[in-house]
Amino acid sequence: AIVNRTVGAGEKAAAEIREHGGIAASFPADVTKKDNVEAVVEAIENEMGAADILVNCAGINIRKKALEFGLSEWQQILDTNVTGTFLACQAVGRRMIARGKGRIVNISSVASVIGLEDRAPYCASKGGVSQLTKVLAIEWAPHGVTVNAIGPGYMNTPLIANLMKQPGFQDRVRSQVPLSHVGETEDLHGILLVLCSRAGAYITGQTIYIDGG
C-alpha cells in the first residue's frame, strides 16, 4: 500500500511493484493531517487487510540559513517529517497493538545526530524521528510491536537532486565518506529486510545508520 500526497507518484510506485509480480495499490493522503491518516489506514485495511509492516518515509527539506527561516517553513518541515511520522505510527500502531504484532520502520537521517549547515529544521525534525522511535519502542514492546529507524546519509534521491548538480558536491562527498560515493536507494534494502523479518525480531528502538561510513 503506497500512501502519497501526489496521486501520480503513488500510482507510479504501485505500478512498478505490480510489474515485478507484487500486489500493490496507491492511496492518496496528506500525512500531516490526522483525519487523512486515520481515513487512509482504514481504507487500506478494508481493501488489503491488516498492516503488518509500516515504513514512514515521507520527508521534505528546505535549505537556508537558520536566521532566514520563516515560521511557516519551519512548521512545514516539522509537520511532514515528525508529525506525519507520529500520526502514521499512532494510527497503524494502535491496530498492531490490538493484534499483538507489527514492525515499524521510520526513515530518520544522519542529520539526527550531526549538525548540517543550512538545515536547522531538517536536523531538528530527524532528531525528533529518532527520539520518537525510542519512546514508541519502549511503550509498544510489551505488545509485540518493534519500532526502529534507518538513518541514511546522502542518498541519490530527488531530495538531493539539486545538490548532485552543484560543482564540487560529489568531490566533497568522496572526501567525507569512507566508501567515497553517494548511496543508492538499493543500499537501504538489506537493513529494511532485516528489520521487517524474523532476522530482526530482537531489534527495537534503534536508529541504524546507512551512510557509507
Active-site pick, 122, 154, 202, 209: 122
Which residues are bridge partners to 151 per DSSP?
A: 209
Q: Cell 548540517 sits at which residue?
A: 116
Q: What phi, psi does 26 have (nearest 5°)?
A: -105, 140
d(CA 9, CA 171): 31
Beta strands in the chain (DSSP E): 2-4, 26-28, 53-56, 102-107, 145-152, 207-210
Q: What is the CA radius of gyration of the chain?
A: 17
Output the nine-digit C-alpha cell for 66.
537558520
Task: Please provide the DSSP assignment of 38-91 as one string.
Answer: HHHHHHHHHHH---SEEEE-------S-GGG--HHHHHHHHIIIIIHHHHHHHH
202 flagged as catalytic? no
Largest Cα–Cα separation, the chain: 52
Catalytic residues: 122
